[in-house]
Amino acid sequence: MEIDMVRLVLIAALLGATQVHAASRFSAADMNCRSLQQGIAAAGVAIVHYLSSRGNLLYGRYVRSQQFCGNAEVTSTSYIRTADSRSCPVKTCVQYDFKPD
């Protein structure tokens, strides 16, 4: 009985300590580049749907800063198509490739 209570307390503590952020969603085809960048900056992290150069519908996760990346990730600039630009610069998280000397 005591072990079950300890487990319950630990689970409650873990659930209370985790933060879940719902990502905003944007459609790049319906936005100009500046509006998309401002939306990502305001949200911190966003899922963006956009068209590839071949017309395929793609999506990606874009961030305001490295603060929204994982521990072993850094930001990298990507370019996506918006209503007014073929190459709107936005930041995405990529794995940090550490290569010792």
Q: What are the structure tokens assigned to 35, written together? A: 């509006």
Domain presence at residue 3: no
Residue 59 pLDDT exceeds 50: yes
CA dihedral 64, 70, 71, 73 (to 10 degrees): -70
Domain presence at residue 30: yes
Domain presence at residue 7: no
DSSP code, position 82: -
Q: Among 25-34, 44-53, 58-67, 91-100, name the one with the lowest average pLDDT.
A: 91-100
Give the total number of structural domains in the chain.
1
CA 85/CA 4 separation, integer angstroms: 58
pTM of the model: 0.73
Domain presence at residue 5: no
Domain presence at residue 86: yes
Helix, strand, coil percentages in the chain from 3-state DSSP, rounded to 5:
35, 35, 35
Domain presence at residue 10: no
Domain presence at residue 1: no
Domain presence at residue 82: yes
